[in-house]
Structure 1
Amino acid sequence: MNSNRRILLTGASVTAAALLAGACSGAANTADRPTGPSACVHVVDAATGKKGEACLPTAPAADRADLTEPRFTHPTKITNPLHPTSEVTQTIYGGQVDGKPFRTEVSRLPGTKTIKVDGKPVEARIIQYAAFSDGRIQEVALDWYAQADDGSVWYLGEDVFNYDNGVVADTEGTWQAGRHHAPPAMIMPAAPEKGDVYRPENLPEIVFEEVTVRAVDQTVDGPYGRIQGAMTVRELHMDGSTEDKVFAPGYGEFSTGTKGGDLEAVSLAVPTDAKPGPLPARLTSLDRAAVAAHESPGAATVREVRAAWDTYRASDAVPALLERQMERDLAALEKAGNGAQAVDPALRVAQNVTDLRLRYEPVPTVDRDRLALWTRQLTIDGKAGNEGAVAGDVTALELAWERVRHETPDAVPVDTDLKKLRAAADAKELAEIQRLAPELAKDIT
């Protein structure tokens, strides 16, 4: 996860197939790379994108841990404890950005992507990053990672799609190793030590980050208990700003920001936080109540969610961040009544409950219910005539489907449904959306 991504504004829609499209790059020429260890990296204004005269206060080459050439023999076995990409199936992050509820689904996709690094093909893991502001899609990225033979993890690029009102605004932040002389970028040393410096992104004026390790072997509060072996870093950005991040074993990037300001932190991860056993009956009751309130928010259904939530959290461990978010979203739903203001908090409450279920249920099971959630939301937004929300709902459906499609014996009906929905959303044909949504609901069950 790269929580420093710039979240920008409007444009045209994109399909899930387009998100995954793109040929492999050509070879990078090391001699042509634009910056050496001691070269000036110019400050770039975050608002205008213009390069300034000043140089960023980058570290001396002697402190850099990423100046060796990585060798990739088994690159998809990413087992570095502080970036366990091949071992974590899905991580949910929560918090707030710009005063709005912020939630992220980070999921390992099936398959790999081959990227040429200095003329040699490297197989990389694909991670889907989907960020939601106020419950609605705001950014999507496909990130590509590979582990070198020494245990360090390298970032080989990302496809970025920034959304506004449900449609793609731009793809700013997109880069790939081998394109435009971009080198592979270390995102986690094999055995980080205090004072180590490395660059997770190193294409100045396009993307750039320089990380300094500030502390290792720390203990932090996790979703279900204390976690040992965490690391704190300070990240220098292209505009000269900095932020601190925490990485933790079993999670990777664990948190950035503060509780009182902008925050993106782990709510839970699987299998790290998975617990054997069936879904608790009280959580099942909460899920049913949340679905009812999502479909038809009103005094009665909201009271049922409140009662089910209070009963469940008194009976089972709930991650502190998820508990705080659920209280915030449920309070907003209670205040909204049954009007248009209830739509977004009802959606967020339903999202929170699907996240809680990850503790007990397989990710594909939960993702299939997320398909049902977004199909309900599509119907709600279509009836309301909200064209932007409808476009975003279809994107959310495409993202969830991309995660479960490979486990579906006959994927053709849903593929066809989503293709038709995308065409209707792009054409702003809301009557067609209303006709197609029930077909999708039938095909995903």
Structure 2
Amino acid sequence: MRRLRITHVLLLTAGLAGPGALVACSSDDPAGVQAPSPTIAPPTSPVTSAPVSASPPDDSTASVPTTPASRTPAPKPTTEFVPQPGYDRSAFTRSTAVTNKWFPLRPGMRMTFRGQTIEDGEVIKHAVTFIVTDLTKVIDGVRNVAVWERDYSDGVLEEAELAYFAQADNGDVWHFGQYPEVYEEGKLVESPAWIHGVKGARAGITVKANPVVGGPSYSQGWGPAVGWSDRAKTYRTNQRTCVAAGCFTGVLVTDEYSQDEPGAHQLKYYAPGVGNVRVGFYGNDPTKETLELTSARMMSAADRAEARAEALKLERSAYRHSKDVYGRTAPLR
């Protein structure tokens, strides 16, 4: 499990109304924004309705306990970390229509998340911009939606990434791989790509269509060459949470973890019809990452064209720096 990347953040459909509708903030510049308060566990009691707010209430109104230690599970056995069974490329007949209520992907949507991490004992501001492009890529015969993400630490670009998602006919959204570029002082230092079907990598499920508390965990992708072993399980349903963008009810909370970080857990809050609106943690997660949705908007035609150009530029870099993995994929179109 890594710091939150594109593969874990989700989006908002336009035209929402009623409880859970989004109120966009006035700015989506990733630099210079105060981090939100950490959230380390989902609410303990379901709430059926809540007003929409442009700013989060005091933590006490969000019904978030201060520690979930009593519910911390034991580290998962190594045998759990295997590729997701049940993949069938023939089950993706309308793969780019990603309409899963927990993880909707609408081309042209730009979302901004802000929060913080702990690095070497220091609190670091963290921001993510997440754009659903109008580009697609075929992987193993399945056409995927391409998402372009940028990850900032203290206002400095730390990572740019392309990630690929497709929806199966049963509504589950699958993650087929990603190409990240990690930068230090503006220079590329690594690009640990994994793509389904290359070097033993296998697609996994990002979010299920019908999550059930107590159900089995599921792989979110398997990339043994780069140590990608993330898994998730349904942690809570019908919850309430408030973030800078608004208050949401009927929220799904998932618990994510990986083989390389036993005992560390990330909690992802998914609002119905919206997507991921908050990230928290529990256990011995050293980064203690938190993020919350602060703004979402449909981009203009000019902005979409610019995002498309930047995604294609990143792909050209991917073909140069990841010839043995990304280089085996068909071009974006």
TM-score bracket, shorter-length normalisation: 0.5 to 0.7
**Match 2:212 to one of 190, 193, 200:** 193
Q: Segments of 4+ in structure 1 off by > 3 A?
A: 2-6, 58-61, 222-225, 362-365, 400-406
| CA distance in 2: counterparts of 1:405 and 1:140, whole angstroms | 10
TM-score by length of 1: 0.46
Partner of 2:254: 233
- The AA in structure 1 aligned to 2:130 is V
Higher relative contact order (CA 8 A, sep 6+): 2
> Is structure 2 residue 139 aligned with structure 1 residue 115?
yes
Does the 8 Å CA contact 2:84/2:202 hold for their aligned counterparts?
Answer: no
Superposed CA offset, 1:242-295 (max 9, x none)? 22222222432222236x953122112235xxxxxxxxxxxxxxxxxxxxxxxx
Name the amino acid aligned to 1:402: A
For 1:176, give the aligned amino acid: I
C-alpha separation in 1, matches of 2:301 and 2:291: 24
Say what the alpha-carbon RMSD is for the aligned residues: 3.3
Whole-Å separation in 1 of the counterparts to 2:222 and 2:83: 14
Q: In structure 2, what is the equivalent of residue 267 of structure 1?
A: 294
Distance between the aligned counterparts of 2:165 and 2:251, measured in 1?
Answer: 20
C-alpha deviation, 1:68, in angstroms: 2.2
Aligned to 2:86, the other structure's residue is in SS state coil
State, as a whole percentage, how many aligned pairs show the same letter. Answer: 23
Deviation track 1:381-438 (CA, whole Å, cap 9, x = no partner) reads: xxxxxxxxxxxxxxxxxxx9334689xxxxxxxx9xxx9xx9xxxxxxxxxxxxxxxx
2:199 counterpart residue number: 180
- 1:47-62 paired onto structure 2 within 5 Å: 56-57=76-77
The 1-side partners of 2:128 and 2:87 are apart by 33
Q: What is aligned with 1:279?
A: none
Structure 1 residues 125, 232: CA separation in 2 closer, same or farther (over 3 Å shift)? same
Q: Equivalent residue for 2:85?
A: 67
CA distance in 2 between partners of 1:404 and 1:250 (Å):
28
Deviations for 1:328-357, whole angstroms, at most 9, x for unmatched residues? xxxxxxxxxxxxxxxxxxxxxxxxxxxxxx
Distance 1:101 1:157 in 2: 27
- Structure 1 contact 364–404 (Cα < 8 Å) conserved: no
- Work out which of the residue numbers 96, 99, 112 in structure 2 matches 1:92: 112
| Greater Cα offset, 176-185 or 74-83 | 176-185
Give unpaired runs (5+ residues) of structure 1: 7-54, 272-361, 369-399, 407-414, 423-445
**Corresponding residue SS for 2:250:** strand
Query: 1:319 maps to what in 2?
Result: none
CA distance in 2, matches of 1:133, 1:183: 30
Give TM-score, length-normalised by structure 2. Answer: 0.61
Is the CA contact 2:128–2:152 (under 8 Å) kept in the aligned structure 1? yes
Amino acid at match of 1:270: R
Higher CA-based Rg: 1
2 CA distance for matches of 1:175 and 1:65?
Answer: 13
Q: Secondary structure at the match of 2:221?
A: strand
Q: Which structure 2 segments of 5+ residues have no match?
A: 7-74, 282-286, 318-333
Structure 1 SS opposite 2:230: strand
Distance 1:209 1:166 in 2: 28
In structure 1, C-alpha distance between the alignment counterparts of 2:267 and 2:310, rounded to whole Å: 37
Structure number with the higher strand fraction is 2
d(CA) in 2 for partners of 1:58 and 1:248? 31
Tell me how far 1:59 sits from its aligned partner: 8.1
Three-state SS of the structure 1 residue aligned to 2:307 is helix
